[in-house]
Amino acid sequence: MKSSKKHPGDTQLVTHTLKPSDKLSGKIESALSQKRTAEGLSEAKGLVAAALDEFAADPRLKPLAAAFPEAKGGASALLSAAQVKTAFKKLAEGVKRLQTAAQGAERVSHQEGAEVSAFDRKMMKGVIRLCGVSFSELNTPAATIITAGDKIVAVGMNRAYNPLPEYDRHGEMEALRALKQRTYTGIAQILVLHRQRGGALSPRSQEILKKLEAQGLMKDQSLGLNPAKLEKQGFFSAAKIEKYERQLDAAVKEGSCFQRDEDGNLHGRPQQVFETAMSQGTFGAKDVADWEVFDRLHSRDPTMKLALYTSLEPCGMCLQNCTSHGQIGRVVYGARDEFGGGISTLEKYPEAYFSMGRVPYELVGGVEGEKAQVLYDKFFNEVYPYVRVDEDPPPEVLKALAKEFAQA
């Protein structure tokens, strides 16, 4: 159940939404409703042409123009029934892409209030608790949880300053990295399970798995893969196994899908962060996404949209990476960063940024933001001046802030 009511602990609730233009949707759907005849196709072509002219700034409309073939022998000649059927099929596919994208050329800027569910609040309280772990490592107190529906797919915590300064280790970026590692860990573990069941694998896959197992592949059991369930869902089919073998080979060659420690073993940080969130009571094993969700995400299912919960408003870099990922449709954040936040400065972004579908379709701020805002402000005012010059903050400051985080 969602509510727009401001709860104790919220700061000002705001929503920044992006939606398909009703006018654009109407024109395209009207084209699709024409009779499946050559004459109907001609009418549909005229409606699409008008939409292309009116919404020329939206590059997603351009492929629709190619859906309409010209009749051989000139414009007056009738198209064959097969050509008409093919053209309408292509048009329907184009309309579906527009609809499932849930993004459009029209934007509605910072509105008062927000639709916030009990699950939203649970996730936000969880990421704020996780901030204390980042703070204990002298990093910006920021954490992120990514969900598919009400199921957890990845968790990340800020590591931008310690153990070494790295600008791209914000909580959102760490969660996206964790999602990638969890996905390829799952693929590799399914291949191991397939082999254990007596299934055949290529020599190349056997070689890869031997190395990954020696590097700690099977230590992370947070995906909860169940062989009986995987078989029932078709993940041990010949086609799926062949696809996973091919994808794992490409991932290993590329070298960017698994994080590694100094000894070349699979880095335990993503698993550690995930388990920390579970130990704090943010979610339990039953709340972790089923493998089917990861498979759909990895297959770039256009209907699969993720939600990203983060304690601090994403910076421009993190917001851009959320949108580049392509499947994050909703961002919920607590504390606002009016000077460096990517959402607070969204009004300055060019209109083309929106028409190209480069921003999640719903951005909700202020949820459980009161506590997060106090903690962030204190960190940046009292701790950050020391951290940024690689000095240790006064112990009394750290002790006082640690106490506040423990009570978050």
Q: How confident is the model over 349-392, as pLDDT tens digits? A: 655 555 555 556 678 888 888 888 888 888 888 998 888 888 88
Q: In this structure, are 72 and 164 located in the same domain?
A: no
The values of phi and psi at residue 329, to 5°, are -100, -15
Instruction: Show the tokens assigned to 165.
Output: 């300064």
The residue range of the domain holding 42 is 22-101
Across the range 308-312, mean pLDDT stands at 94
Q: Which of 149, 114, 146, 134 is nearest to 310 (CA)?
A: 146
Across the range 9-29, mean pLDDT stands at 68
- The last residue of one of the domains, among 101, 131, 153, is 101
Q: In this structure, are 66 and 138 located in the same domain?
A: no
207, part of any domain: no
The confidence score (pLDDT) of residue 104 equals 40
What is the distance between the alpha carbons of residues 259 and 261, in angstroms, rounded to a whole number? Answer: 7
Task: Please count the structural domains in the chain.
Answer: 2
Grade residue 198 by pLDDT with cuts at 50, 70 and 90.
Answer: very high
Q: How confident is the model over 33-67, as pLDDT tens digits? A: 888 888 888 888 888 778 777 766 555 566 666 66
Q: Which of 164, 45, 31, 22 is nearest to 99 (CA)?
A: 22
226, part of any domain: no
Q: In this structure, are 136 and 88 located in the same domain?
A: no
Q: How far apart are the first and last CA of the chain?
A: 24
How wide is the angle at C-alpha 357 spanned by C-alphas 335 and 313, nearest 5°? Answer: 5
318, part of any domain: yes
Determine the distance from the C-alpha atom of residue 336 to the mean position of all C-alpha atoms in its chain, rounded to a whole number.
Answer: 20
Q: In this structure, are 145 and 47 located in the same domain?
A: no
163, part of any domain: yes
- Residues in Cβ contact with 385 at an 8 Å cutoff, skipping those fewer than 6 apart: none
255, part of any domain: no
Residue 114: count of CB within 10 angstroms of its CB: 25
- The last residue of one of the domains, among 33, 68, 101, is 101
What is the distance between the alpha carbons of residues 356 and 347, in angstroms, rounded to a whole number? Answer: 16
Over the Cα atoms of the chain, what is R_g? 25
276, part of any domain: yes
- The last residue of one of the domains, among 66, 101, 136, is 101
Instruction: Show the tokens assigned to 215.
Output: 């590097």
Ramachandran class of 63: left when φ > 0, alpha when ψ lies in -120 to 50, beta otherwise: alpha
Can you tell me which residue has the tokens 């070298």? Answer: 255
What is the distance between the alpha carbons of residues 306 and 102, in angstroms, rounded to a whole number? Answer: 12
Instruction: Show the tokens assigned to 264.
Output: 């070349």
259, part of any domain: no
Q: Which of 314, 363, 408, 281 is nearest to 116 (CA)?
A: 363
Decide which of 226 and 56 is more confident. Answer: 226
pTM of the model: 0.77
Q: In this structure, are 299 and 157 located in the same domain?
A: yes
pLDDT at 275 over 80: yes
Across the range 166-193, mean pLDDT stands at 95
pLDDT at 73 over 50: no
CATH of the domain at 115: 3.40.140.10
8, part of any domain: no
**What distances in angstroms separate CA 189 from CA 57, 234, 245, 263, one per listed residue?**
45, 15, 11, 21
Grade residue 289 by pLDDT with cuts at 50, 70 and 90.
Answer: very high
- Residues in Cβ contact with 278 at an 8 Å cutoff, skipping those fewer than 6 apart: 284, 285
